[in-house]
Amino acid sequence: MSSFVVDKDGIKRYAVTVNVNGSDYTKVIKANTLLVNLLRDDLDLTGTKRGCELGDCGCCTVMLDGNPVNACLVLAIDCDGREITTIEGIQDGEDLDIVQEKFIEHAGFQCGFCTPGMIVSSRALLNENPSPTEYEVREAIAGNLCRCTGYVNIVAAVLDAAENL
C-alpha cells in the first residue's frame, strides 16, 4: 500500500511513484486522481488529450506497461510502480518515431486532436506485431475516434510505418 499523509481537511494524500517515458516521478496525490490528470496537471505532459473522458474516444490513450489504455479511466494510484509511455515518450530523442513521420507523410491527421492517442495505439500495435494486416491496424485503433473521419490516411500511415520499421 502506498504511504500517505492526512492533510488539514482530513483527506489522505498518497505518495505515488510512476515511471513516465523512462523517468521516475514521485507525486503526492489524492486517491481519486485519474492518470490523465496526473499526466496533464501534475507532470505538464499535455500531449495526452482529454476527450470524452468516458473511455469511448481514445484521445487519452497511453501505454501502461506497454499496453494501450484510456488514461481517463485509470486511477493514478493504481499505477504506482508501473511504466507509462505517453505521446511525448514515443519519439527517439530529437528524432520523430517512424509512426510519427508516416503520419506526417500521409497527412494522417486533420484537426490533430485524436493524433496522440492514434499514434500511441499504433506504436503499441507495431511493438507487438511488426507486420500487421489492414484489419489488425483497424482493430488496434478501433478505440481511437477521429471525428474528422480521416481514417484512410491514418491506416495507410501505420501500414507504411510497419514496412519501414
Partner 1 sequence: MYLPDFEYYAPDSIAEACQLLSQFGAKAKVLAGGTDMVVKMKNELLAPEVVVSVKNLEQLKKIEYVAGKGVCVGALCTHNDLVKSDVLKERYPSVANAARQMANNQVRNRGTVGGNISNAVPSADLPPIFIALNATAKLVGTKGERTVAMEDLFTGPGKTVMAQDELIAEVFIPDQKMTGSNYIKFGLRKSGALAVVGVAVAVQVENGVIKDARVALGAVAATPVRAKKTEEFLKGKNATDDVLAEAGVIASGECKPISDIRASAEYRTDLVRIFTKRALRKAVDEGHV
Kindly determine how many residues on this chain lie close enough to bind partner 1 according to the rule CB under 8 A.
Answer: 34
Q: State which residue, 20 or 77, has the beta carbon closest to partner 1.
A: 77
Residue 84 pairs in a beta bridge with: 20, 64
Which residue among 61, 85, 100, 115 contacts partner 1 (CB under 8 A)? 61
Which residue among 18, 39, 77, 158 contacts partner 1 (CB under 8 A)? 77
**Burial (Cβ within 10 Å: 0-12, 13-18, ≥19) of residue 59:** buried
Which residue among 2, 19, 91, 110 contacts partner 1 (CB under 8 A)? 2
Give yes or no for residue 50 binding partner 1 (CB under 8 A): yes
Classify the C-alpha dihedral 149-158-46-68 as positive or negative: positive
Determine the interface stretch with partner 1 among 55-63, 85-93, 97-105, 151-159 (rule: CB under 8 A): 55-63
Give yes or no for residue 27 binding partner 1 (CB under 8 A): no
**Rounded Cα–Cα distance for residues 141 and 151 (Å):** 9
Q: State which residue, 75 or 155, has the beta carbon closest to partner 1.
A: 75
- Strands, E, within 42-145: which ranges? 61-64, 67-70, 83-85
Q: State which residue, 7 or 92, has the beta carbon closest to partner 1.
A: 7
Q: Is 148 helix (H, G, I), strand (E, B) or coil?
A: coil
Question: Which residue type is seen at 47?
Answer: G
Residue 18 pairs in a beta bridge with: 25
Determine the interface stretch with partner 1 among 11-19, 90-98, 106-114, 156-164 (rule: CB under 8 A): 11-19
Give yes or no for residue 30 binding partner 1 (CB under 8 A): yes
